[in-house]
Amino acid sequence: MFPLQRGRRLRTNESIRSLVRETTLSPSDFMFPMFIAEGDNYKVEIPSMPGIFRRSIDLTVEEVKELFDLGIRAVNLYVKVDESLKDNTGKEAWNPDGLMQKAIKAIKAACPEIIVMPDVALDPYSIYGHDGIIENGDVANDATNEALVKMAVSHAQAGADFVAPSDMMDGRVLRLRQGLDAAGFHNVGIMSYSAKYASAFYGPFRDALDSAPREADVVVPKDKKTYQMDYANRIEAIKEALWDVEEGADMVMVKPGIAYLDIVREVKNAVNVPVTVYHVSGEYAMIKAAAERGWLDNDKIMMEQLMCIKRAGASLISTYFAKEAAILLKK
């Protein structure tokens, strides 16, 4: 006890603080979410996400090479699908010549060692903006799972290392594992969005992909609360993560990040697989907006939040700050 024990001795200067630091960050802790669009030499900034772009495949490949040189070892892919290709079946999602499939092939050809994790959900392909097939005014769970299996297998055929189901359908991890194995892709992993909450923090992301629920000429759910989780719940997140591990998930994800660090720790304590945390678009946008106004220091807040996510139990952080943080860490 004081005065024999003085906590400040271990905080005297940066050298001693670095010696006793419990949590550290490196570029290999990050995965970079990337938005892909049709075209050539196409790059357009997303207004609600300063510094984040929709890119054509050729520019995406160049960006991936830069990320790999910085030490980032994984990318999470999303596609902006042309309106003419959207319907209620999502069939464009498993087109072997689709935008996602072409992007996976191009990235793996140019940078074979980077881990490619394409998103598996139907909302970018849906005329209704939902993560599944609409039947009788609701998202049809089992029919959607059948579509997701086709989608995941097409990603594996294109060269994906992992598939990342973000749809929150019941039983989809088991169906994906069975489908991948039946197609001979035993070594393609599954990173499941296990505890994905129905959150308002996703707004800028939905702007990026035009994937928000829409008004329609048929009855459709007005939001995604029948499949994404209620943010009031904690025990449910543990249950969902454990179910996904039992069904064959190699990694589980908690989404969003900073506002859900209690869930990250609970899930980390409950499962025996790596836990990924998605530091989502709204969390990114808030920091950028405050920094632009001079209210916060972008770099300091960025690193503090990423460190807190890691400290809470994340093995991998999917973050729009990945490149910025990697550059800062390299310095």
Q: Where are the domains of the chain?
A: 24-251
pLDDT at position 214 is 64
Residues assigned a catalytic role: 196, 255
| 307 CB-near residues (< 8 Å, 6+ apart) | 23, 25
Annotated binding-site members for Mg(2+): 240
Q: Which residues are annotated as a binding site?
A: 240
Cβ-in-10-Å burial (0-12, 13-18, 19+) of 7 comes to exposed
What is the pLDDT at residue 180? 98
Residue written as token pair 């989502």: 280
Please tell me whether the peptide bond between 256 and the residue prior to it is cis, using omega within 30 degrees of 0. yes
Instruction: Tell me the torsion sign for CA atoms 290, 295, 299, 301.
Output: negative
- For residue 300, how many other CB atoms are within 10 A of its CB? 10
Residues of the chain with pLDDT under 50: none
For 67, the token pair is 């990320």
Contact 8, 52 (CB under 8 A): no
The pair phi, psi for residue 167, each rounded to 5°, is -80, -30
| Averaged pLDDT score across all residues of the chain | 96
* Domain spanning 24-251, CATH architecture: Alpha-Beta Barrel (3.20)
Across-strand partners of 165? 120
Cα three-residue angle 23-70-19, rounded to 5 degrees: 25
Give residue 310's identity as a one-letter amino acid code: K
